[in-house]
Amino acid sequence: MNGIERTLAEELSNSGYAELGRLSIIFDERGRVVTLRGRVSSYHLKQRAQEIARLVAGGSQVVNCVDVQPNRQEQNHAGPNDWDDESDPMRSVE
């Protein structure tokens, strides 16, 4: 692990988001490219990881290959067949 990888790993771990500390970091010194890989539960965390990488890597290019997989709890939202009669906005009012 080189200096940028080590520093970035520390910053991600200290970000307050445990998921960011588990991301994989690869720095290509010749091409000056930082690549992030792994999974997080939200697009906010993906973006946060990229912002931290840009700050640490300076002028290096950041390639964000982080996948977003929302937690099951976040996926449980009302679908089109989940309305009850009282909250259905399409029900006719008589």
- The CATH number of whichever domain residue 46 belongs to comes to 3.30.1340
Q: How many domains does one find in the chain?
A: 1
Look at residue 85 and tell me if it is in a domain: no
Look at residue 83 and tell me if it is in a domain: no
pTM of the model: 0.73
Per-residue pLDDT tens digits for 55-93: 999 889 999 999 999 986 544 444 444 445 554 444 455
Look at residue 50 and tell me if it is in a domain: yes
41-52 average pLDDT score: 97
Inter-residue contact 89 to 60 (CB < 8 Å):
no
Long-range contacts of 56-61 (CB under 8 A, 24+ apart): 56/4, 56/7, 56/8, 56/11, 57/4, 57/8, 57/27, 59/32, 60/4, 60/27, 60/32, 60/33, 60/34, 61/31, 61/32, 61/33, 61/34
Higher-pLDDT residue of 58 and 38 is 38
Look at residue 41 and tell me if it is in a domain: yes
Per-residue pLDDT tens digits for 9-25: 999 999 999 999 999 99
Look at residue 73 in the predicted model and tell me its pLDDT.
57
Look at residue 63 in the predicted model and tell me its pLDDT.
97
